[in-house]
Amino acid sequence: MATTNLSAYDKTTIPNAKDFRFGIVVSEWNPEITNGLFQGAFDAFLDCGALKENIVRWNVPGSFELIYGCKKMTRSFDMLDAVIAVGCVIQGQTKHFDFVCEGVTQGIKDLNIQGDIPVIFCVLTDNTQQQSIDRSGGKHGNKGTEAAIAAIKMAQLRKDSKF
């Protein structure tokens, strides 16, 4: 569990995002959390120079569907420089939590290995809803902001590594 503000970043260490295009795939499950994460990412993109029209949002039903949504987004928009997968899975009383978290983690990893567009993991896997609230705009800041900063840095890495 994060104990610092996830929203804190130094803009002098982040590339200007004005020439980049980003996709954000958002799970509709736990919408009070995932919409907060989306907003944190969206606001950070704009703060770092991204243009509003260069940010695409797609919704999917749940976190497990993020994998397919991100795969389709990376293949549908050749001009995207990075994609963020936004979701929230909260521990319950069954093993469903473990299966979903493991599947989503491995699926996002596979997209990064197989594709050319970075897919950033912004899926909260918390024990309680309060922990998720605290990390999606609450007392610990916003993990979505952190994901946007990672997306900008990976987009720059992708651009710099083109031959």
pTM score of the predicted model: 0.94
Please report how the helices 96-114 and 66-76 are oriented relative to each other, as an axis angle in degrees rounded to 10: 20
Of 18, 96, 109, 159, which one is the catalytic site residue?
96
In the predicted structure, residue 64 carries a pLDDT above the cut 60: yes
Tell me: pLDDT of 2 over 80. no
Q: What is the rounded distance in angstroms from the CA atom of residue 72 to the CA atom of residue 58?
A: 10
Q: How far apart are CA 108 and CA 104, in angstroms?
A: 6
Distances in whole angstroms, Cα of residue 136 to Cα of each of 27, 140, 143, 154: 14, 8, 6, 22
* Alpha-carbon span 63 to 61, nearest angstrom: 7
> 102: which 2 tokens?
């493991």
| Amino acid type, 116 | D
Report strand pairing: 141-142 vs 136-138.
antiparallel
Active site residue 140: no
CATH of domain 26-160: 3.40.50.960
Percent of the chain with pLDDT over 90: 87
The tokens for 95 are: 């093993």
The candidate with the shortest Cα–Cα distance to 81, out of 105, 51, 48, 116, is 116
Name the 3-class secondary structure at 3. coil
For the segment 116-132, what is each residue's pLDDT rounded down to a tens digit? 999 999 999 999 999 99
pLDDT at residue 156 is higher than 50: yes
Sorted by where each begins, the domain ranges of the chain are 26-160
